[in-house]
Structure 1
């Protein structure tokens, strides 16, 4: 039996692309053999099959109608890992779950006390509008607005660096500050911070910036260092290869895209601020952040902050949209989720480090919030874990129980 020739049309000059390629290679190594055909240096707009290829199947980030037509006309199965053509019948699709992506961003910003929000994404073939729409929809559900950057020109139009800075500066300086800005990716996050500083804005005091994906180098060399959402690009690549393997065996393309939840938020200095003008809430939040994982309750917070329980609950509900007890629980569970992804600690050890009395209590709270047990979450966060991914919908349990 001939070894399948699998074409992978993904850029390797971004952290997202490189990690996704590793995911594809991981699947091929475990369940192949496959002969991977890589043409990594094409731009998204021109990425097509090289003439010398005779690919049996393709994994690609499709970004233009012409590219889409050229790829599907080859007659080989195609799995798309871009977010432009997720409803196409001719291809299968594996993408980030942008609803969960947006919810994590809103949750991060709301925990800082922000009430003004914006989304920054200049027209590009690297991403579709679904990211900004998801962010705005989550905010709207919470009764909040979102100012979106709309420069008034289409994808593909070239403008000078001076014109770009002028347009972005005008938009930024018209926002109500302090404002929390989610950007489409790390490239745009770094660019926005640079323009904001040139315009005399303080990052993060006036403008807090969170990048929609992670690129460790870009985020770390940014001034200040850039907070980011760590999307599961390795797992996207692994799942895309898994779906392509099924299609190579004769299975039809799935009716719904596979949705892969982001792993976590990597918090750096660009969002390290409390955008709250009430000193009592700031004092309470700082105390919670420092002590939540010691197992404290609201009673201990009230000992550190001279207000009544009723006053504290009213202030938290008004400024953060949740009660003090809910904020303590959120902080513990976020710490637990971080440890599940980043360490090999046992579930009992994670529970203790997150401030829970035991694994049972931690597991119940974790499943109530995330829809999966800690063990299911840990397996699902691994690119070649036993968990699956959701085929549409927002229930994280689907990601692990298939």
Structure 2
């Protein structure tokens, strides 16, 4: 193998693929990135056996061939090379080495044979559709924070994607929950998505997709089956296994009868929660909301350090109510809202609370209360 390409092109491709590689591996080949030089340029591929990313970079190929090198070491070398340099990759005179040259720099890396590199066979992917990059990124950003980290409830360790009917219109929905809060957002269903199976996209895959969607004007091709998903963005192809489990019936926890409506300035509310939570305990993080006629009092009490209160004016004309929430969860949800105000619908101190930008907004959030 002998190929030459610009350092910027190689670094960009490596930045995309090397993140998949776990730093600790019991299988040596999984610590490597596969390099395959051919007519189409230089193809880079990395996998952790659950997720695979392939990207092709433009290169002058003098001799076709393939090998694998340690992914993180290779990335660090290329990252530290001078801007604008031409990088030459060539199989070394010693068997099992790759020589990297750029200007006066020369590196020799140990390789493993490309024949040992695993291929994540996707199989048949019958559902295919195209979605705008901005829409896909929005589906992820508005729900990602609510993904559960609890490994025992593995079916909550991702974003649930499915097609739903809303007022006779098909929508593509993304849902995530950790049992304490729930995030749901929907966009009009892309052509071809109707009839797709409900799938759970794993947390790591979600994070990689978010990083790869760089051009807001671009389009993303999605192919999926009940067990695999493939995302194509320009010259990048991401293939991932899906979580094999049943996502719970989330509609049961979305309240429909919350009759107490609170409208509050989003920025003012978030700032007040942030201030009073300064003295909350790391374990508790509880903030009490006391609602009365057009007034909201936020209170935090910490037996070890003291207490804090703040009062803000709000639009609220229902019966007085005291309810507690995890301050961190309140701030997470407030940061996802896009409008100047937040609409919070409550029932009683022990029932789920619904938060939206406005009535009928495409994104909604459900938050379970805490005892205070």
TM-score by length of 1: 0.23
TM-score by length of 2: 0.24
Q: Which has the higher contact order (CA 8 A, sep 6+)?
A: 1
**Per residue, is there more strand in 1 or in 2?**
2
